[in-house]
Amino acid sequence: MSITAAMPTAKERLRRTRTKRVSHLPAIKLSSLLPSHIDLRDPLKASLVCGDCGTWVPVTGMQSKTQKLVPHHTGKAGVDAAIRCRSSNRRIEWDMTIPEWHQALTDAVKEADSRTATTVLPKAFSPATDQTLRARAQRTPAGRLADWTAVLPRVAATDAHRQTVPAGDAPAQSPAVPLDKLQINH
Ligand SMILES: [Zn+2]
């Protein structure tokens, strides 16, 4: 044996197997799985997510008496180490019809959609802010004008504030503050 020989890696999963072996573990009930962990779109190419290794495994024997998960390794074919999954050759109990599975899957998808809609909705900006942000993102003269328009009311308000001198605050013995220079020219 060569020193460089690689460790055996997980094998591809065959859909049809000849083995008569059946796992001693109890049969997997379809109703015990998440609808999204069952694929019966093409009943002759059914697959399930194996509860033991958490990977998609083809179901064999769809046209014979017993249906089983095919013998499989736990990891990715050709990448992970060849470790046999204990749920290999495990029987499947069809306690759910295909229309029932389809309905359960549809309901689960609807449920997930409604949950997403309530949690992921972005916070709405005011129309003015939205307009400013859009124009700014475009970096156009219109954008700069929009920036200026957005900030003008605040500038005017600040200047107006500056010009109001409370009575009694003006120093009695010094020249008056030249207020006329603080006017803004539109
Ligand atoms: Zn498995």
Q: What is the mean pLDDT of residues 88-100?
A: 93
Ligand 1 centroid to 124 CA: how many Å? 46
Predicted pLDDT at 109: 84
Ligand 1 ion: Cβ-proximal residues, 5 Å cutoff: 50, 52-53, 85, 87
Write down the mean pLDDT value for the chain. Answer: 80
Total number of residues shown for the chain = 186
User: pLDDT category, 150, cuts 50, 70, 90?
Assistant: confident
CA–centroid distance, residue 180 to ligand 1 (Å):
84
Q: What is the mean pLDDT of residues 89-107?
A: 92
Centre of ligand 1 to C-alpha 100, Å, is 25
What is the Å distance from ligand 1's center to 50 Cα? 5
pLDDT of residue 141: 67
CA of 48 relative to ligand 1 center, distance in Å: 10
Ligand 1 centroid to Cα of residue 39, in Å, is: 16
Distance 44 CA to ligand 1 centre (A): 20
Mean predicted confidence (pLDDT) in 78-94: 93
Res 1: pLDDT: 45
User: Is residue 178 scored above 70 in pLDDT?
Assistant: no
Q: Is 170 a residue whose pLDDT tops 70? A: no
pTM for the complete prediction? 0.57
State residue 36's pLDDT score.
Answer: 92
